Every structure is written in structure tokens, then in C-alpha cells.
Structure 1
Amino acid sequence: MKLASIKHGRDGRLVVVSRDLSRCVAVPGIAPTLQDALDRWEQVAPRLAEIAAALDNGELSGSLPFVAADCAAPLPRAYLFADGSAFLSHVELVRRARGADMPAELYQTPLMYQGDSGGWLAPTAPIPWRDAAWGLDFEGEVAAITGDLPAGCDELTAATGIRLLMLVNDVSLRGLIPAELARGFGFYQSKPASSASPVAVTPDELGDAWHDGRVQLPLEVTLNGKPFGHPHASAMHFSFPQLIAHAARTRPLVAGSIIGSGTVSNADPSVGEACIAERRMREHQADGTPHTPWLMPGDKVRFDMRGSDGQSVFGAIEQQVAAC
């Protein structure tokens, strides 16, 4: 099934969305918000699934047109956003860009940082821009939303805790990252609020495109209306169960925790990129200097992922950069 949060108050109003993203229906009698649904998932998920089936079969009266611009992020504020870096070609490129080595342990243990989770940007909200020196960049990702999971859970348990999947634009300030990392305490100012796709979907909604704890689909990225990349999300070195178990190694995860895949990236440069930093690094390798600029006010970015039927799975993230 597909779920979304229509803008309403701080936490949105939960709606069930049709498979083709054309219709939706609010379900206040079942769960007023997505967080409430996640808190009571075993109780409410079967009822939500019944609504979804009736909506898809045209058997439900009272549905309304689904409009992505009316949506907040699926979880407008979440208890946790822990972002991994499961695509090692991305790790290699961005570390090389700042002169850092690729230690062997990064192939066995995923990188992960804790990002801003208190105010997710809506899928069509402007991306704030404040200073050209900050190097505003986009990063297209896939993310999992979990149920409650105990500390120290193994990968099998982690897999059973995946409730929903969605797309993410992990906004980054590349100009601030090197100094923050050099101080030895990780990202903070360089990682402002991220945005999410209009819709989050249960893994079974993907059919054969959900396999081995990975989404088996390419991510379509455009910048200012031109194709920027279509890297395949199946290239994750670490699966979502591995990332989730890593995040839960020393602490429990509460329902509504968001675990990101990191920037979708492929070693093959012909498929393009899902962030500007990778493009600039490849330009530097080829030409001796990068020439794709960081985002500036007026730039437009778009992320989408289509199933085998050609239909959008999550709805598109479509944002324009705006000076603050």
C-alpha cells in the first residue's frame, strides 16, 4: 500500500493513496497521522491495506484527487534520521575529492551519521539557499521507515522491522563539510533539513523490485529539466537490514525511525550521478577541474523512481532553490 501525509498542523493528516497516485482518502477513524499508524502498526496495517485495495479497485466512495503539492513529507517530523552510505562508489569519489583515503573497514562496516529529523521539507518545498560559499548540493537516496526494534537486533529482525520505503533528497552543504570533519566530530551544520517523496510504500508494493533488502530500480535525477543521472539503487553494498542493524547496535529504534541508504551511486559513469559532488569529481578526473556549479537560487531538481509498468512508485520530489 501507499501512504502520504497531507499538510495539516505539524504532523500532517494520513491518507491512503491509490497505486497509480491518482486518488487518496483520509482515514481518521483508523489513524490520524502516519506516526500514529506506525505506533500501532500490527493493529492498523491490515485495515489500511483493506482501504488501499478498495481504492485501487474503485470500490471506495469519498476519495479525492491526490496532489503531490498538498503533501508534507510522509513523516514531517521523525524521531530519528540516521543516514548510511551504502553505495561505495559514492564514498570513494567524495573521499577522493577531499584527499581522504578509503580504509578497508569501510567495506565491512557502513558509515552513518545522524541527520536533522525534526523538520523534513515537503516534496515540493523550496530548498533554502543562504551563501554561495556553502556549496549547496542535492543527494538522491532511498530510505526505510522502521517499526520498533530492540537494541542489538540482528539483520533478520531488522528486515522484519521495515515498514515503509521512500525517496529522500539529502541536502548537503559541501563547502562546510571539510572543516566540520577536520574537527573530528562529524556532520552538523553541513547537513540541513532534507526532503522526502510525497508517498511512502510498503515493501510488498514493489513486488520483484524489492529483493535482498534493496530496491531494484533506477533513480531518475534531473537538474533544470535536463537528465543528470539514472543510477541503479540495487548497487547498495550494504542492504537496508544491514544498515538498520548497524543503527540499532547499541540503542533501540522507535517506530518512525528513518534509515537512509546514502546517495544512490554506480561505478559506471555512463549512468550519471545523483549528486553534484560526484559529477564534479569525475570532471576533475577527466579535465583537471570541475565545472558543474553548486546549486544556486532558481535551480530546479527532481527525483523519481518508476516501476516496471513505467508508473512512478513514490511520486516525485520536485524542488526549486530559493534564497532565504
Structure 2
Amino acid sequence: MKLATYKDGSRDGQLVVVSRDLSTAHYATGIAHRMQQVLDDWGFISPQLQDLYDALNQGKARHAFPFDPKQCMAPLPRAYQWADGSAYINHVELVRQARNAEVPATFYTDPLMYQGGSDDFIGPMDPVVVPNEAMGIDFEAEIAVVTGDVAMGSTPEQALDAIRLVMLVNDVSLRNLIPAELAKGFGFFQSKPATAFSPVAVTLDELGDAWQQGRLHLPLQSTWNGRKVGNCDAGPEMTFHFGQLVAHICKTRNVRAGSIVGSGTVSNKGVEVKGKMQWPKGYSCIAEKRCIETIQDGQPSTEFMKFGDSIKIEMKTADGQSLFGAIDQEITAPV
């Protein structure tokens, strides 16, 4: 099934069930008001939502209305935890190569991860408000999962069983703030402003054969100012699958229902054509493009985003249907 959260003036919004083709929706008021309620009592509430979802897809839901992604908050408007990994080692390799640094051997066996702010997510069509263009504004197209409870010490296989929902991410980064923050030795903070998520979150059964062993095998499209710059395959080159990422978090603590875990920037390796490396599938963040330019030309030439720029992130099924709806945002200055 597909779930979304509509704006209603509150911090947590109103839960809605959305049809498979994203054309209609229905308030879930009689079952649950908020997404977190569903995650806290998944075994009891989700079958009731599934019944409503089936009725909606069959055209039998009595109070259905047209689905409008502009009315959406993030599916989970605030969460107990937002932990973002860097599961595509190609992205790490490019970043390291651009600054002539080796990739530590442990990076291939132990996931990189940071803990981001989870108290203030933004909706899929809300503006991305940044204090200053000079901060180096970048998008990052990613995939994320939402978990149920996961016990401390769970294996990757056990962690996979606790995944409830999947959604898309725009993990906004302020690149020019990152070096000074990392130099402090405590990781990202001000360089990672509010994160945006897709209009709907979907259950694993909606993904069909595209979901294999904790990876989502579909292309993730990134369109910057109306030009498609990325169509990266999210599946085969994901070094650590979502079960491994969740298990990494719960090595020393419990993970509670409503935790969101991100994949990191979806990234594909380049291919050699006539002795020169090319990246036919593009990129899922500007920083990666700049790394490629630095490796090839000695310096980056692509600038970061400006006020008024737009970014659209979307994933489509093999038959061309939007799976999660699109993140479609504009970069703006504070009012």
C-alpha cells in the first residue's frame, strides 16, 4: 500500500491512503490519524489500512478524493531517528580520488553513517530555504526505509524483516560548510539542513521484483532546472543493503519504530570509452559531478545551486508509472 501525510495545520499532519496510480486518496481517520500510530502498532493497524487501500484501488472507497502532492508533508513529518548511510562505495571512491586520498579498507566492510536532524522534515514540494547561496547548496537523491522496532544486536536478515516502508529522499547538503565541520572531528551538523521526502511511502509488496535482498533495483532520476542529470540504478552497486545499514545502527542499541535510515547518494561507476571515463547514468548530487571534473580536468566547473533553481527526484516502474510521486522543490532565500 501507499501512505502519505496531508497538511492540516499541525506538526504531524493527517494520514491518508493513496491509490497505486497516485490518482486518488482517502483519509485514514477511522483507522489512524498519524503515521507514527501505524508504525507503533503495525500488526494491528496496517491490515485495516490495506483493506482501505484495496477498496481505493477498486474504486469502492466512498469518500475518495483526487490526490494532490502539493498538500503533502513528509510521510513521517518528524521522526525519532534519521540516520543516513553512504552505501554506494563508488561515491566515496570518487570523493577520495578527487582529493588524492585513499579509501580506508574498513569502508568496504563497515558502513559510513551520520545521524541527522529529524525534528523538522520538509514536504516533497515545499521550498528548500537556505540562508545564503555561498553555503554551497546541493541536492542528494537517495532512498530511505522506515523501520519498526529492531532489537539491539539484530542480524542484517532480522533487520530486513523490520522494514515497514520505503520512500525517496532529497538529503540537502551545504557543501561549503562541510570541510570546517568535519575538521572538528564530530561530523555533519549545520551543513545538513532539513531533509525532504517523497509524497508517499510504500510497503515492500508494492515493489515486486524490484526489491531484492534489501536493495531497490530501479533507476533514480534527478532533474535539475528541467534537465535530467541523473538516472542512476539504485540496485546493483549498493555496497551495503538496507538490512546491513539498520543492523549497523542497532549494534549497540535498540532501534525504535519510526526510525528512518537512508542509503546515501545513489551512485554508479563510470565506463571507459576510447580510453576516457564517462558516466552515462549521470549523478545524484552536484558534489559527485564536481569530483569527476576534478579527476578529469584538475578542477571543478559545475557550480552549486542558486536561489530559484529547481530539483526533481523521482523513481518510475518499468511501465513508466511514478512509484513514490516526485520530490519537486525550489531553492529559496529566507523570507
Instruction: Please classify the TM superposition score into its range, dividing by the shorter chain length.
Output: over 0.9
Query: Quick one: distance in 2 between partners of 1:57 and 1:121?
Result: 31
Which residue does the alignment assign to 2:261? Answer: 259
Matched AA of 1:245? A
Query: Quick one: distance in 1 between partners of 2:182 and 2:4?
Result: 35
How far off its partner does 1:98 sit? 4.4
Which residue does the alignment assign to 1:232? Answer: 233
- My pick for the range that moved more, 158-167 or 286-295, is 286-295
Unaligned runs of 5+ in 2: 271-278
Matched AA of 1:307? T
Query: Quick one: distance in 1 between partners of 2:228 and 2:200?
Result: 22
Query: Quick one: distance in 1 between partners of 2:314 and 2:148?
Result: 25
Q: Is the 8 A contact 1:129 1:296 kept in 2?
A: no
Q: Please point out which of 289, 302, 321 is paired with 1:311.
A: 321
Query: Quick one: distance in 1 between partners of 2:209 and 2:202?
Result: 14
Unaligned runs of 5+ in 1: none
SS in 2 for 1:14: strand
Structural mapping, 1:14-29, within 5 Å: 14-29=15-30
Query: Quick one: distance in 1 between partners of 2:208 and 2:255?
Result: 26
Which residue does the alignment assign to 2:39? Answer: 38
Query: Quick one: distance in 2 between partners of 1:225 and 1:182?
Result: 36
Change beyond 3 A, Cα 1:275–1:256: same
Q: Is the 8 A contact 1:110 1:243 kept in 2?
A: yes
Query: Quick one: distance in 1 between partners of 2:217 and 2:51?
Result: 26
Which residue does the alignment assign to 2:301? Answer: 291
Q: What number of residue pairs does the alignment pair up?
A: 324
- My pick for the range that moved more, 150-159 or 76-85, is 150-159
How far off its partner does 1:274 sit? 0.4
Query: Quick one: distance in 2 between partners of 1:179 and 1:94?
Result: 16
Matched AA of 1:301? I
Which residue does the alignment assign to 1:172? Answer: 173
Residues 174-229 of structure 1, C-alpha deviation per residue, up to 9 Å, x if partnerless? 11111111111111111111100000000110101111110010001000000111
Structural mapping, 1:116-155, within 5 Å: 116-155=117-156
Query: Quick one: distance in 1 between partners of 2:102 and 2:51?
Result: 51
Q: Please give the TM-score of this superposition, normalised by the length of structure 2.
A: 0.95
SS in 2 for 1:219: strand
Q: Is the 8 A contact 2:124 2:197 kept in 1?
A: yes
Structural mapping, 1:1-324, within 5 Å: 1-8=1-8, 9-234=10-235, 235-268=237-270, 269-324=279-334
Q: Is the 8 A contact 2:181 2:188 kept in 1?
A: yes
SS in 1 for 2:176: coil
How far off its partner does 1:99 sit? 4.6
How far off its partner does 1:24 sit? 0.4
Q: Is the 8 A contact 2:133 2:307 kept in 1?
A: no
SS in 2 for 1:231: strand
How far off its partner does 1:27 sit? 1.1
Query: Quick one: distance in 2 between partners of 1:322 and 1:133?
Result: 13
How far off its partner does 1:132 sit? 2.9
How far off its partner does 1:88 sit? 0.5
Residues 40-63 of structure 1, C-alpha deviation per residue, up to 9 Å, x if partnerless? 100011111111111111121110
How far off its partner does 1:155 sit? 1.2
Matched AA of 2:250? A
Q: Is the 8 A contact 2:83 2:261 kept in 1?
A: yes
Q: Is the 8 A contact 1:25 1:64 kept in 2?
A: yes
How far off its partner does 1:231 sit? 0.5
Matched AA of 2:281? V
Identity %: 53
Q: Is the 8 A contact 1:98 1:178 kept in 2?
A: no
Q: Please give the TM-score of this superposition, normalised by the length of structure 1.
A: 0.98
Residues 145-185 of structure 1, C-alpha deviation per residue, up to 9 Å, x if partnerless? 00011111111210110000000000111111111111111
SS in 2 for 1:45: helix
SS in 2 for 1:16: strand
Segments ≥4 residues shifted beyond 4 Å: none
Q: Is the 8 A contact 1:146 1:162 kept in 2?
A: yes
How far off its partner does 1:130 sit? 1.8
